[in-house]
Amino acid sequence: MINREIPYRPKLEGAFRERFYAAASTIDGDTTKEEIEKIAETEIDWVVNKCQYNLVQRRKYRAVWMLFRDLVRASWKAEFRYGILYVSNKSFQNTGNKSVDITNAKKAMRGWMSESRRERLVKQADFINKIEEENSKGKSIFSLFAGGEELADRIEKAHRKEIALNDAVKPYLQLVVEGEKDKFTGLKISDIWRYCRLTWSTPYETTPGRTMQYLIRDAAHPMHAIMGIASLENCTMQITDRDNKIGWNPSAFINEIKQKTSDKAKKELQELLKYIECGIEFINYSDLCTSKEIEHPTNDKIQYLF
């Protein structure tokens, strides 16, 4: 991990560009984190509550200062020199020890996310207080967490062979269904998952696409205590290493075909070419799909790939 300075050069225009550099020029090596945050908050307040023109640039200006403020909160240093605002982070240093470097990196990243997590917890304060209070059934979210002594007692009994290990701990998955309630507490299953997610050291972020959430519960506990949570989500788009491995990228697919010289591989490619060529809209579909050339693509059609 290399520690280096990065120029912070937002693509602003006109008066917004001039105002940004006027404010940034007041930041030097001795400017404290609190002073920088105050500058950022002043600029955010101006563009949100006072500026009334050029909506596009206003949005960019707000985003620029919010990002800069978050970097500073995450222990990034900032300094304006020779007309450029530089940001850097010294949390990452090469020690020559891979294990130590990874530990330091994780520690730094948790520190960066702590402020964001704190903000989300503050926003969720009403929800947290409500679910931690006893409801009409006299139950709260705390009823769904196993006590250390009770769990230790079950494990000790299994160790002494008084009960089977399968009877000491009985994990199972429960799919989170919107609107469904927990039969032991009357709490919404989705609220239970949401509360458990807020206990993580990383802030909760919603992701686009389909999501399947699960509670991991212990049937050996009288209230089927929560052991953990899990979530299955749509995969992230465009991860180069993964896409190359699977063969989703054209270049990766072609390289894979080049390495396969079997008749089966060629036959599969010929079938693929047939489907592709039949789908080309600007060629007459009926004429194309009845031609012998498309029914049985020649090796010449494969050669152009290589």
| Contact in structure between 7 and 86 (CB atoms under 8 Å) | yes
Confidence of residue 288 (pLDDT cuts 50, 70, 90): very low
Q: Give yes or no for residue 228 having a pLDDT over 90.
A: yes
Q: What is the pTM of this model?
A: 0.56
Q: Which residue has the tokens 């579909």?
A: 285
Residue 76: CA atoms inside 13 Å, Cβ hemisphere, count? 24
In this structure, which long-range contacts are made by residues 19-24, counting pairs with CB atoms below 8 Å and at least 24 apart in sequence? 19/43, 19/46, 19/61, 20/61, 20/64, 21/83, 21/85, 24/80, 24/85
Angle CA 15–19–25, to nearest 5: 145
d(CA 223, CA 183): 9
Residue 273 above 70 pLDDT? yes
What digits encode the pLDDT tens for the residues 120-162? 888 899 999 999 999 888 899 999 999 889 999 999 999 999 9
Residue pLDDT, tens place only, 13-53: 999 999 999 999 999 888 988 899 999 999 999 999 999 89
C-alpha span between 298 and 51 (Å, rounded): 66
